[in-house]
Amino acid sequence: MKKENLDGVIGWIEKYALLQNIEEPKALVR
C-alpha cells in the first residue's frame, strides 16, 4: 500500500472516530 493511501485512510478513520466520539467518549481511548 502506498504511503499516500495509508495517510488518507488514517485521516478518514480519525474523522470517523471523532464523529463516533460524540456518542461514544471511549472510542478514541486505546
Give the tens place of pLDDT for each residue, 1-30.
Answer: 688 888 899 999 888 888 876 666 665 565
| Residue bearing cell 467518549 | 25
pLDDT at 27: 55
**Domain spans of the chain?**
1-30
pLDDT at 1: 64
Q: Which contacts qualify for 15-24: CB closer than 8 Å, 24 or more apart?
A: none
- Please list, in sequence order, all residues whose beta carbon lies within 8 angstroms of the beta carbon of residue 11, skipping any fewer than 6 positions away: none
DSSP-assigned states of every residue in the chain = --HHHHHHHHHHHHHHHHHHHHH-GGGG--
pLDDT at 23: 66
* d(C-alpha 5, C-alpha 12), whole Å: 11
pLDDT at 30: 59
